Amino acid sequence: MRNIYFSISSCCCLLLAVGCIKAPIEFVDNNRTGDPNITFFDNYKVEIATYRTDSFVTSGHETFMIGQHQDSLSGQLTASSYSQILLPENNPIQDKTVIYDSLVLILKPTGNYLGDTLKPLNIEVYRMSDKIKNEEDENTFFYNTRSFSVHPSIFGSTSIVIRPKRTSEITIRLADNFGRELLNKFRTNNTDIQTLEDFTNYFRGVYLKSSSNGNNLFSFRSFDKSILMRLHYRLNSNTSQEKTLNFAFNTSYQFNQVVHNSLNSPLSIFTPFKKQLKESKVTNNKSVLHNNIGSLIKVSFPTIFSIKELHPYVKILKAELVIKPGSINYRYPYELPKELFLYTTNDNNDLISIMKDASGQNDQNGNLAIDNLFPDKTQYSFDVTQYINFLLNEGRFSKSALMISPKSLFSDIDTERLILNDQTIDKSIQLKLYVLGL
């Protein structure tokens, strides 16, 4: 590929034109195509901001998120879980001679975690004093900001070190006095266990939280087929037989409370429980994507229409948005999101449509390329050619922008986090343009 060298006068004209649009443009080979009418912009002006939603749904996901984690860049995250317990389908204990053994809660790690896995996670279980319900009975959506009252005394607890690859279950022994009482109700076929409504009036559910100072947060699922609680007993017949009675949980009435405290972080400027957008210049020149706290990164191109001032006729032949996350995003205990997605958005920050590939059939996912030898070459990339041409056609008063999102948007199921510097710090985000000008 041959290089095209501009004359001194041509370069002066070009620099004057660039100055008019006030964009931090770097030229890396002014022409990479051999065509004097095509100019390559390596780092066109991009502005980023952090968008935060007020709340998001955490019910119906069958995930128990427990613990807390302090992140200097995004703040403190504290998660706890509420769950309604279901009545077993049948009662094998009625009128039997039985001896109580134990009542336990059983959880299995999902593999999702944040923080120091070498320190123990202290889990405390409380018996609920409120029912898990909304004012409208048919409404089963519960949000990360919701909470219910619980009895003050600890119902059960454990302290355990959870290795990242652990898949075996964790057992938490619950209060024996309640276990014996529960066994007796099934033995006598008490009125408290006749219907689900009777049972939830008697036993309103459980609340799980962490009392750890180990700065760790883990996600769990139920043991098997939604089994969350198990009553162990012995059946006295001719020979003593060990038996169990399993209690599932109601997935529609199980949710996580996920609380974010942004104190001493770049996000401290945000008001809790309110939809907001903050430009990177007021958040330490950083923008934050974190699905557990409900934040996305908004990307805009405020000077893109000014590119038309360079030539009477302008067309974008190719536009590429490149995101270079930097090691701060995958230094232990953090990992890069395996996929990122771009949505078009408006001045209300509504997600309108997802960015497709050139075929128009598939969602672009960032094509994450990891370079372990040269970490600064690790990057996501998106073809935004069609979108940039759309902006040029729409005009300088366009309200359209892009929103960078993880696969799960806002979620309590897993953790996806990305911190980007704006262009005043480095090239964490770049817009590369091939511009045809005639």
pLDDT tens per residue, range 187-237: 999 999 999 999 999 999 999 999 977 789 999 999 888 899 999 999 986
Three-state DSSP state, 368: coil
For position 9, what pLDDT does the model report? 39
Residue written as token pair 């999101």: 337
Mean pLDDT score of the chain, rounded to an integer?
90
For position 34, what pLDDT does the model report? 65
Of all residues in the chain, the percent with pLDDT exceeding 90 is 77
Is residue 324 predicted with pLDDT exceeding 60? Answer: yes
Of all residues in the chain, the percent with pLDDT exceeding 70 is 92
**430 — pLDDT class (breaks 50, 70, 90):** very high
Q: Residues 76-101: what's their mean pLDDT?
A: 96
For position 167, what pLDDT does the model report? 81
**33 — pLDDT class (breaks 50, 70, 90):** low
Show the tokens assigned to 361: 């059939």
* DSSP letter assigned to residue 82: E
For position 389, what pLDDT does the model report? 94
Neighbours of 227 (CB within 10 A): 16
For position 309, what pLDDT does the model report? 86
Show the tokens assigned to 218: 């883990």
Show the tokens assigned to 342: 């771009």
Strands 170-173, 429-437: pairing is: unpaired
For position 231, what pLDDT does the model report? 98
Q: Residues 385-402: what's their mean pLDDT?
A: 93
Neighbours of 70 (CB within 10 A): 16
